[in-house]
Structure 1
Amino acid sequence: MTLARCTSLLLMLLVGTATALAQPAPTGLSGQVRDESGAPIPDADVTVTASVDGAISRAATDADGRFAIPELVPGRYAVIVERAGLVPAVIPDLVIDAGTTRALTLVLRVPGISEVVSVGADQAPPAAAPSTIELPPTIVQNVAGAAENIYRVLQTLPGVGAVNDFDSRLTVRGGGPDQNLTVMDGVEIHNPYRLFGLTSAFNPETVANFELTTGGFSAKYGDRLSSILVVENRPGRASPGLGATAAIGLTDGNLVAEGRVPGTNDSSWLVTGRRTYYDLVAERIVDADLPSFADLQARLDLQVRPGHRIAIFGLNSREGTDARFEDDDDGDEYVDILTSTQNDLGAVSYAATIGSRAFSRTTVSWYRNRELIDFAGDLRPGARRSNSPDTDGMPLAAIVFTRRLSIQDVALRHESGINLGTSHLVEAGVETHNLDTTWRWRIAGERNFDASNGSSGQGGAGIPSLLDSAQASVRVGAWVTDRWTMAPGVRVEPGLRLDWSGVTGETTISPRLAAVIDVTSRTRLRLAGGLFTQSPGYEKLLQSDYFLDLTDAGGLSVKSERAWHALTAVERRLARGVTIRLEGYYKDFDRLALGRLETPEETAARVATYDFPASLASGIPRAAQVTTVPANIGTGRSYGAEIYAEKRATSPDTRLSGWASYTLGRAETTAYGRVFAADYDRRHALSVVSSFRLNRLIEVGATFRAQSGFPYTPAIGVRPASVEDPLAAAAGRTRLIPLRDARGQLVWSADYGDTSNFNTGRLPVFARLDMRVTFRPRWSSDRWQLYVEVINLLNRDNASEINTVLGFDPSSDRPAITEERTGRLPLLPSFGLRYRF
Structure 2
Amino acid sequence: MRLLVISLLLMACSIKSHAQQVHLKGRVVDTLSAPLSSAHVFIQQQKRRTITTNSEGEFFVELVKGLFKLEITYTGYQKFSTNLYISGDSTIQIVMRPKAEELEEVTITADRTLQSDQFQTTRMSTNSLSGKEISSIPVLGGEADVIKTIQLLPGVTKGADGTTDLFVRGGAADQNLVLLDGAPVYNTGHLFGFLSVFNPDVLDKVESINGAFPAEYGGRLSSILDVTSRSSLPTKTQVKGNIGLLASRLMIEQPILKDKLSFTLAGRRTYVDQVVKLVGQDLPYFFYDLNGKILYRPNPNSRLEFTFYEGNDVLSFSNVPRASLRNRNITTDFILGNSTQTLRWDRSFHNFNSTVSLYRTVFQYSIRNTYQENSLYVTSRIEDLGGKWLVTSDSIHHLVSLTAGVEMIRHQVAPNRITTTGEISDILKSNSSLPQTSLESSLFLQGNASITTRLNASVGLRTSSAYVDQTFYYNIEPRFSLRYKLDSVTALKFSFSRMSQYLHRVSSAAVAFPTDIWYPVTRNVKPQTADQVALGVQRTIPERNLFVSVEGYYKWMHQLIGYKEGASLLLNVDFEKQLVQGQGRAYGLEVLIKKESGKLTGWLSYTWAVAERQYDAVNGGQWFLARYDRRHNAALVLNYQLSKKWSLSSVFEFISGSRFTPIIGQYVVPSPTLVGVDLIPVYASANSVKLADTHRLDIGAKFRPHPNKKFQGEWFAGIYNVYNRASPIGIVIMPNGDGSFRYEQPGLFGLLPFVSYGFKF
Matches within 5 A, 1:658-697: 658-671=602-615, 672=617, 673-697=621-645
Select 1:65's aligned residue among 71, 78, 93. 93
Against the structure 1 CA distance between its residues 821 and 48, is the aligned structure 2 distance closer, same or farther, given a 3 Å change threshold? closer
Matches within 5 A, 1:3-82: 31=33, 64-65=92-93, 67=95
The offset of 1:172, in angstroms, is 1.1
Q: Please list the CA deviations of residues 396-449 of structure 1 after superposition, one character each: whole Å capped at 9, or x if unmatched.
A: xxx99753111111110111012322111111111111111112254999xxxx
1:762 aligns with 2:690: yes
Select 2:750's aligned residue among 826, 829, 835. 826
Select 2:212's aligned residue among 207, 213, 216. 216
Against the structure 1 CA distance between its residues 317 and 598, is the aligned structure 2 distance closer, same or farther, given a 3 Å change threshold? closer
* Matched residue type, 1:587: K
Query: How far, CA to CA, are the matches of 1:269 and 1:187 in structure 2?
Result: 19
Root-mean-square deviation (CA), in Å? 4.0
Query: How far, CA to CA, are the matches of 1:686 and 1:335 in structure 2?
Result: 47
Secondary structure of the 2:682 match is coil
Name the counterpart of 1:315. 309
Query: How far, CA to CA, are the matches of 2:354 and 2:507 in structure 1?
Result: 29
1:258 aligns with 2:233: no
1:499 aligns with 2:488: no
Query: How far, CA to CA, are the matches of 1:551 and 1:271 in structure 2?
Result: 33
Q: Please list the CA deviations of residues 357-402 of structure 1 after superposition, one character each: whole Å capped at 9, or x if unmatched.
A: 111100011111221134689xxxxxxxxxxxxxxxxxxxxx9975
Q: Please list the CA deviations of residues 53-112 of structure 1 after superposition, one character each: whole Å capped at 9, or x if unmatched.
A: xxx988789965265989x9xx997666xxxxxxx847xxxxxxxxxxxxxxxxxxxxxx
Given that 1:30 and 1:69 are in contact with CA atoms closer than 8 Å, whether structure 2 keeps it comes out as no
Select 2:589's aligned residue among 634, 638, 641. 641
Select 2:157's aligned residue among 157, 161, 180. 161
Name the counterpart of 2:380. 405
Uncovered stretches (5+) of structure 2, i.e. residues with no partner: 1-29, 37-53, 61-68, 85-90, 323-327, 422-427, 569-573
Query: How far, CA to CA, are the matches of 2:516 and 2:250 in structure 1?
Result: 40
1:778 aligns with 2:706: yes
Given that 1:429 and 1:478 are in contact with CA atoms closer than 8 Å, whether structure 2 keeps it comes out as yes
Query: How far, CA to CA, are the matches of 1:543 and 1:231 in structure 2?
Result: 25
Matches within 5 A, 1:545-584: 554-556=522-524, 558-574=525-541, 575-584=543-552
Given that 2:406 and 2:443 are in contact with CA atoms closer than 8 Å, whether structure 1 keeps it comes out as yes
Name the counterpart of 1:726. none
* Matched residue type, 1:697: K
Name the counterpart of 1:108. none
Against the structure 1 CA distance between its residues 40 and 531, is the aligned structure 2 distance closer, same or farther, given a 3 Å change threshold? closer
* Matched residue type, 2:494: L
* Matched residue type, 2:750: P
Against the structure 1 CA distance between its residues 804 and 598, is the aligned structure 2 distance closer, same or farther, given a 3 Å change threshold? closer
TM-score (norm 1): 0.72
Against the structure 1 CA distance between its residues 319 and 485, is the aligned structure 2 distance closer, same or farther, given a 3 Å change threshold? same
Q: Please list the CA deviations of residues 269-305 of structure 1 after superposition, one character each: whole Å capped at 9, or x if unmatched.
A: 1111111133233246556453211111111111123
Given that 1:259 and 1:268 are in contact with CA atoms closer than 8 Å, whether structure 2 keeps it comes out as yes
Matches within 5 A, 1:156-235: 156-235=152-231
The offset of 1:802, in angstroms, is 0.9
Uncovered stretches (5+) of structure 1, i.e. residues with no partner: 1-27, 50-55, 81-87, 91-114, 119-123, 328-332, 378-398, 446-462, 603-625, 724-734, 740-745, 810-814
Name the counterpart of 1:791. 720
Query: How far, CA to CA, are the matches of 2:648 and 2:533 in structure 1?
Result: 39
Structure with greater Cα Rg: 1
* Matched residue type, 2:486: V
Query: How far, CA to CA, are the matches of 2:506 and 2:223 in structure 1?
Result: 16
Against the structure 1 CA distance between its residues 562 and 230, is the aligned structure 2 distance closer, same or farther, given a 3 Å change threshold? same
Against the structure 1 CA distance between its residues 334 and 531, is the aligned structure 2 distance closer, same or farther, given a 3 Å change threshold? farther
* Matched residue type, 2:183: V
* Matched residue type, 2:546: V
Given that 2:416 and 2:517 are in contact with CA atoms closer than 8 Å, whether structure 1 keeps it comes out as no
Against the structure 1 CA distance between its residues 444 and 511, is the aligned structure 2 distance closer, same or farther, given a 3 Å change threshold? same
* Matched residue type, 1:806: P
The offset of 1:198, in angstroms, is 1.3
Given that 1:592 and 1:634 are in contact with CA atoms closer than 8 Å, whether structure 2 keeps it comes out as yes
Given that 1:166 and 1:823 are in contact with CA atoms closer than 8 Å, whether structure 2 keeps it comes out as no
Secondary structure of the 1:152 match is helix
Against the structure 1 CA distance between its residues 310 and 551, is the aligned structure 2 distance closer, same or farther, given a 3 Å change threshold? closer
* Matched residue type, 2:294: L
Query: How far, CA to CA, are the matches of 1:198 and 1:323 in structure 2?
Result: 21
Query: How far, CA to CA, are the matches of 2:212 and 2:344 in structure 1?
Result: 27
The offset of 1:595, in angstroms, is 3.3
Q: How many residues align?
A: 666
* Matched residue type, 2:402: V
Q: Please list the CA deviations of residues 329-369 of structure 1 after superposition, one character each: whole Å capped at 9, or x if unmatched.
A: xxxx9996421023222211011012x21111000111112
The offset of 1:712, in angstroms, is 0.6
Against the structure 1 CA distance between its residues 40 and 535, is the aligned structure 2 distance closer, same or farther, given a 3 Å change threshold? closer
Query: How far, CA to CA, are the matches of 2:259 and 2:626 in structure 1?
Result: 55
Given that 1:145 and 1:789 are in contact with CA atoms closer than 8 Å, whether structure 2 keeps it comes out as no
* Matched residue type, 1:434: R
Query: How far, CA to CA, are the matches of 1:59 and 1:551 in structure 2?
Result: 52
Query: How far, CA to CA, are the matches of 2:644 and 2:485 in structure 1?
Result: 38
Given that 2:159 and 2:511 are in contact with CA atoms closer than 8 Å, whether structure 1 keeps it comes out as no
The offset of 1:627, in angstroms, is 6.7
Query: How far, CA to CA, are the matches of 2:655 and 2:519 in structure 1?
Result: 39
Secondary structure of the 2:433 match is strand
Given that 2:116 and 2:547 are in contact with CA atoms closer than 8 Å, whether structure 1 keeps it comes out as no
Given that 2:534 and 2:553 are in contact with CA atoms closer than 8 Å, whether structure 1 keeps it comes out as yes
Query: How far, CA to CA, are the matches of 1:162 and 1:493 in structure 2?
Result: 31
* Matched residue type, 2:387: L
Given that 1:401 and 1:441 are in contact with CA atoms closer than 8 Å, whether structure 2 keeps it comes out as no
Query: How far, CA to CA, are the matches of 2:444 and 2:208 in structure 1?
Result: 20
The offset of 1:580, in angstroms, is 2.0
Q: Please list the CA deviations of residues 250-274 of structure 1 after superposition, one character each: whole Å capped at 9, or x if unmatched.
A: 4321111112123x43332111111
Q: Percent identity?
A: 23
* Matched residue type, 1:154: I
Query: How far, CA to CA, are the matches of 1:300 and 1:707 in structure 2?
Result: 42
Query: How far, CA to CA, are the matches of 1:284 and 1:722 in structure 2?
Result: 54
Against the structure 1 CA distance between its residues 542 and 318, is the aligned structure 2 distance closer, same or farther, given a 3 Å change threshold? farther
Query: How far, CA to CA, are the matches of 1:143 and 1:436 in structure 2?
Result: 38
Matches within 5 A, 1:415-430: 415-418=390-393, 419-430=395-406
The offset of 1:126, in angstroms, is 5.5
Query: How far, CA to CA, are the matches of 2:688 and 2:665 in structure 1?
Result: 14
